[in-house]
Structure 1
């Protein structure tokens, strides 16, 4: 191999290695990640920004009325900003200050911020996850198995290599 070709190949390899290193080191975007709670397998990764609304909705298993748990992305945490429900039942905030609006009881929790949420999607409850304006069926996504929901910051490279199902 001629000397100039060897230098070009060496330079190209060096640039490729440096580029890969930079892509791994540069903080990329935030993503909301839904993963299998037992295996850690990623089921969904959706890009999010600061203040993106994340809504976990389901049908209360006993009351058979809709429940909406509303969160906002703040940094790498999910802040529970509101809960809406139509009737009181197990697991709903019976001893909290609520008001009514459009046929719903509304609870505005304070200081409820989470690094991770665990949800057991149910076929009867029909759990859905809405991120921004896109809705996902958590039951079919997880085959009704427990999931872990987190917000992660990923490098440019890992974001580029990650595929949304």
Structure 2
């Protein structure tokens, strides 16, 4: 057997082993941003258990800034609290609130698993996760809906999601 054939076979074995490892080894939990209608992956972000992320926007009629704060618990998303500049119609009520650093904070602790957000053309909406602070309008056109979920992924799934979000 020639050196070239041995090298080619060895490279094939290494590639198969690498793909197997990538396909079976957990990369951890990600927040997955997906176009609701098409199912297209728009973004994927690694996240640690109990690490917070938020949706930030300005209330359409009251004009108060709002932060909806979430954490990932296993593969469920839990809304921890809602923070707003001042109380306005349509915001959490009937819950104990407190003032923290100029924000009114309503503790929520509501498991939502995944949730949908319709992107607006009338107000800035942002996803804040880790060092990422990105306008929802960069994911899709105004008035379209994105779904935000959490899932455990393998390294191969993570790479596929990352590539899909670049297209």
> Where on the TM-score scale, by shorter chain, does this alignment land: which range?
0.7 to 0.9
Q: Distance in 2 between matches of 1:106 and 1:53?
A: 15
Matched, 1:120 2:118: yes
Could you tell me the TM-score, scaled by structure 1's length? 0.86
- Summarize deviations over 1:21-41 as a string: whole Å, max 9, x none: 221011113221111111111
Aligned Cα root-mean-square deviation (Å):
2.0
Structure 1 residue ranges without an equivalent (≥5)? none
Matched, 1:58 2:57: yes
Q: Distance in 1 between matches of 2:32 and 2:89?
A: 29
Could you tell me the TM-score, scaled by structure 2's length? 0.85
SS in 2 for 1:142: coil
Return the offset for 1:102: 4.1
Q: What is aligned with 1:147? A: 146
Q: What is aligned with 1:45? A: 44
Matched, 1:29 2:25: no
Structure 2 residue ranges without an equivalent (≥5)? none
Q: What is aligned with 1:135? A: 133
Paired residues of 1:29 and 1:159 also in contact (CA < 8 A)? no
Q: Distance in 2 between matches of 1:42 and 1:69?
A: 22
Cα separation, partners in 2 of 1:4 and 1:105, compared to 1, 3 Å: closer
